[in-house]
Amino acid sequence: MSMFTKNEQGTDRSRNVPEGQPAPPSSAQQPAPAPSGGSQIVSVISKGLTVTGNLESEGAIQVDGQIEGDVRGQTVTIGEGAVIKGAVYGDNVKVAGSVEGKVEAQTVSVTRAGHLEGDIIHERLEIESGAHIDGHCQPTYNKTSSKVTPIKAAATETAKASSAPASKAATAET
């Protein structure tokens, strides 16, 4: 299960949760993987959700809401009605909503409801008739450049910074 094998998750639980804490309750309470066979749950930013900041996932992201910031994922689907003011990075990006910013992915697909104002850096590109594109389409997608994950580093550092002093205190007490 990805949620229990993450390094930061392991460190945090050992710090905050007292010794002898029973393992999290029965697996029935944990979400089962999606029936499609994927081992990850699709993250969904629904219509009513507005995010002011950056998102990053190693899995699939479905955006139907509003994002002011960058989106980075493996498979990013921007639904109709979604509004993104920022860049979108991924392996596979499908744009059916509005993006004000560049899209950088291996496979980019813009549907006829898509509205894209920004460059499209791709390896494979598909644009349906009726899509609104205003930007430079460049087939210069380089896979290695998308592996840089500054957002994850920032979030992990926040976690580590807050856990480091506390873990010292915990070991001093015990």
Partner 1 sequence: MRLGRVRHNPASAAGDMGPDGDISVLGPDLMIDGQLESTGEVRVFGCLAGDIHAPKVTVCPGGKIEGNLVAREASIGGRLNGRIIAPVVVVEETGAVVGRIFHNEVTVAKGAFVDGRMPWRPINHFDKSATLVEELTSEHVHKK
Residue 103, Cβ density class (10 Å: 0-12 exposed, 13-18 middle, ≥19 buried): buried
Residue 23 φ/ψ, nearest 5 degrees: -60, 155
14 binds partner 1 (CB under 8 A): no
131 binds partner 1 (CB under 8 A): no
- For the segment 30-49, give every residue that binds partner 1 (CB under 8 A): 30-32, 34-35, 40-49
Count of residues binding partner 1 (CB under 8 A)? 55
List the one residue from 53, 132, 139, 169 that touches partner 1 (CB under 8 A).
53
**If we measure between CA atoms, which residue out of 166, 131, 146, 168 comes closest to residue 58?**
146
9 binds partner 1 (CB under 8 A): yes
**DSSP β-ladder status, 60-63 and 88-95:** unpaired
What is the DSSP code (8-state) at residue 21? P
Instruction: Kindly tell me which of 30 and 145 has the beta carbon lying closer to partner 1.
Output: 30
CB of 112 to partner 1, least distance (A): 21
List the one residue from 10, 14, 17, 126 that touches partner 1 (CB under 8 A).
17
